Structure 1
Amino acid sequence: MSNEKIRTHLIISGKVQGVGYRYYTAQQAKQLGITGWVKNLPDGRVEAIFEGNKQAITDMINWCHQGPPAAEVTEVTINHEKPQGCNQFEINR
């Protein structure tokens, strides 16, 4: 399997704010060796950018469909983008 880096841009909808979604996303991303960021949007959704190898990104996307225990994810919109060389994972405000 290729070790080529890919980048995905996600918008997660549902009950995803006030449930630790950003914190748990950061923990999961760090476990999988993924870089990028996650932040809350003013409309109640969560936005995230993930960069890493294809399998790690696939695992991360699958996790995002569930989220942390208190979350109720209703939709995950995924767009693929050109990697930009993120070097860590951050929680943005």
Structure 2
Amino acid sequence: MRGIRGEVAGKVQGVFFRKNTKAQADMLGLTGWVRNTKVGTVAFLIVGEDSALAAMQRWLHRGPRLARVDKVDFETCQVEDLTGFRIDY
């Protein structure tokens, strides 16, 4: 299955970015994970159908209302099917 992995930089911690990413992924039927990094970014691995991944990529460039997204880095990857979408701590 196709997936995307990467990081989002900007004001993305302390603004419910992970919670909103999970909600968006659940709504789009995507699986994977999202987590904060030690350098202040949010990292992710998201797996699903191409159209849902494209919608998620667009959303990640905007983020939730309280966030400010400065940069999003993506790379496409092939991964095995995952179950559910989780927030890693």
Q: Give the structure-2-normalised TM-score.
A: 0.97
Match of residue 38 from structure 1: 34
Output the aligned Cα RMSD: 0.6
Unaligned 5+ segments in structure 2 are none
Q: Give the structure-1-normalised TM-score.
A: 0.93
SS where residue 10 of structure 1 aligns?
A: strand
Identity of aligned residues (%): 35
Unaligned 5+ segments in structure 1 are none
Query: After TM superposition, which residue ranges in structure 1, 4 or more long, deviate above 2 angstroms?
Result: none
The size of the alignment, in residue pairs, is 89
Structure 1 residue aligned with 2:20, among 24, 39, 52? 24
Structure 2 residue aligned with 1:75, among 71, 78, 86? 71
Q: Which amino acid aligns with 1:8?
A: I
